[in-house]
């Protein structure tokens, strides 16, 4: 149990003895009776529970169903009830949703309005991306997009800008559950190695809502600013483990745009606003989307236990399914990527384009000099019990001419690198054949052929 302080629709909230597994959605509906925020999937997929969360980095749409109350300490929250003005004036998004007939059954509408209003505040007009995490079965989205386009021609209301300045007056509750620096976290975690570290909770939130698990000794890391720092130097890029996937996508847009394009398909805006790079790596999922491109780029991990630091290549961190090379009381502090020319190609294969778990994800970092492959690093998720390099394929490519014949020879080596499983997302044969075809896709793309599935037409 812990105490927290935050703003709700502009009013200060001071809560005592808050359970670490109490979600914002349950508190809003059951304690505050703010029932405009809906419960749909209860796992961060449908967007019916979307709220706006503001911290010192700005306003972000997030899923209330997997936001744990302690994560809100020192932040501001606006629900659908806080979108209109103090005098009842409708937000431009609300007004346009009415005029453009953007709502039918209405269950999804509050979350859609909050997503669009948050984007409106941030000046974002990529409406398809913004709404990828808000499912609507009634409208077909056309009237919703028309409402979004009309609202984008208006200015953000003044009342929507108040939360950021109001945060200066919030006295943030402090305790070992809310470390403010990596030094404080390192000291506490080394003494409490059985604790649960909570960053974005996009995975841990499902432990609570779906598995009904308790969180013994949780530490909420979103108040540690130095974990969210990035540094782009002449030799390497250093990414704090607390960098969100959305922040990572923005950084990669200039450095490795194919990586950024894949991140745009990582969950939804709501998920990317909460999920962290460190969390995606540390949970060790064989289908995590960030490890393959990071491994292909030669990323290294920087771990800390107390005052002891160590680093390793990312591919060495994954030992076996559900097992990583991380000692009790040790946490991931940062990831570094060597600066290099952009030869990276990342391909995510899933049943849906948006907001879906990968059947497999392949990353190809291939350098070609004078028609010969000078270096190759290739990594896959979804092809083994861990994210893994395709070393036989790399060897079959390196120092060979960059030709269709070399690609055909190298593609045959995937069967030596991987023995994929069949599951609900794909069969083993499909995965193996698709991996081979992704190498061919990389060859065609590097030779100037159009391969983007959103652009290629029959």
pLDDT digits (tens, 9 = 90+) for 339-349: 999 999 999 99
Mean model confidence pLDDT for the chain: 95
Q: pLDDT tens for residues 256-306?
A: 999 999 999 999 999 999 999 999 999 889 989 999 999 999 999 999 999
Q: What's the pLDDT band for 458 if we cut at 50, 70, 90?
A: low
State which CATH number among 3.10.105.10, 3.10.20.30, 3.20.20.140, 3.40.50.150 fits the domain covering 2-81+162-225: 3.10.20.30
In this model, does residue 108 exceed pLDDT 90? yes
Q: Which CATH class is domain 229-446?
A: alpha beta
Check residue 456 and give its pLDDT: 57
Domain range annotation of the chain: 2-81+162-225, 90-156, 229-446
* Exposure b/e, 166-189, CB count within 10 A at least 16 = b: ebeebeebbebbbbeebebbbebb
Q: pLDDT tens for residues 66-103?
A: 999 999 999 999 999 999 999 999 999 999 999 999 99
Indicate whether this model's pTM tops 0.85.
Answer: yes
Check residue 177 and give its pLDDT: 85
Q: pLDDT tens for residues 17-44?
A: 999 999 999 999 999 999 999 999 999 9
Check residue 169 and give its pLDDT: 73
State which CATH number among 3.40.50.880, 3.30.1360.30, 1.10.150.120, 3.40.50.300 fits the domain covering 90-156: 1.10.150.120
């Amino acid at each position: 149990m812990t105490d927290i302080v935050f703003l709700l629709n502009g009013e200060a909230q001071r809560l005592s003895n808050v359970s670490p597994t109490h979600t914002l959605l349950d508190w809003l509906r059951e304690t505050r009776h703010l029932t405009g925020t809906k419960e749909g999937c209860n796992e961060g997929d449908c967007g019916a529970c979307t709220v706006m969360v503001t911290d010192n980095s700005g306003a972000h749409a997030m899923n209330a169903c997997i936001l744990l109350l302690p994560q809100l300490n020192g932040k501001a929250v606006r629900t659908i009830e806080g979108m209109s003005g103090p005098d009842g004036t409708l937000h431009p998004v609300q007004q346009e949703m009415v005029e453009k007939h953007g709502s039918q059954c209405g269950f999804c509408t509050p979350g859609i309005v909050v997503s669009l209003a948050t984007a409106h505040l941030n000046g974002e007009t990529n409406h398809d991306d913004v709404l990828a995490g808000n499912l609507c079965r009634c409208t077909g989205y056309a009237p919703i997009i028309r409402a979004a386009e009309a609202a984008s021609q208006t200015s953000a209301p003044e009342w929507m800008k108040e939360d950021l300045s109001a945060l200066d007056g919030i006295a943030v509750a402090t305790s070992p559950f809310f470390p403010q620096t990596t030094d404080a976290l390192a000291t506490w975690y080394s003494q409490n190695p059985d604790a649960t570290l909570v960053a974005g909770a996009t995975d841990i939130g499902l432990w609570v809502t779906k598995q009904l698990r308790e969180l013994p000794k949780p530490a909420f890391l979103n108040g540690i600013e130095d974990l969210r720092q990035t540094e782009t130097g002449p030799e390497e890029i250093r990414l704090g483990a607390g960098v969100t996937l959305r922040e990572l996508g923005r950084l990669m847009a200039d450095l490795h745009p194919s990586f950024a394009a894949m991140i745009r398909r990582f969950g939804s805006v709501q998920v990317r606003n909460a999920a962290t790079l460190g969390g995606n790596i540390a949970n060790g999922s064989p289908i995590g989307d960030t490890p393959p491109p990071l491994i292909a780029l030669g990323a290294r991990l920087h771990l800390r236990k107390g005052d002891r630091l160590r680093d390793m290549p990312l591919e060495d961190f994954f030992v076996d399914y559900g097992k990583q090379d991380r000692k009790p009381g040790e946490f991931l502090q940062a990831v570094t990527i060597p600066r290099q020319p952009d030869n990276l190609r990342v391909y995510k294969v899933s049943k849906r384009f948006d907001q879906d778990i990968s059947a497999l994800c392949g990353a190809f970092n291939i350098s070609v000099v004078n028609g010969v492959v000078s270096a190759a690093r290739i990594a896959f998720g979804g092809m083994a019990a861990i994210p893994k390099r395709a070393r036989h394929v790399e060897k079959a490519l390196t120092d060979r001419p960059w030709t269709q014949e070399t690609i055909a020879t190298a593609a045959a080596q995937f069967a030596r690198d991987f023995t994929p499983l069949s599951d609900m997302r794909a069969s083993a044969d499909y995965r193996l054949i698709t991996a081979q075809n992704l190498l061919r896709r990389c060859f065609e793309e590097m030779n100037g052929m159009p391969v983007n599935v959103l652009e290629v037409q029959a």
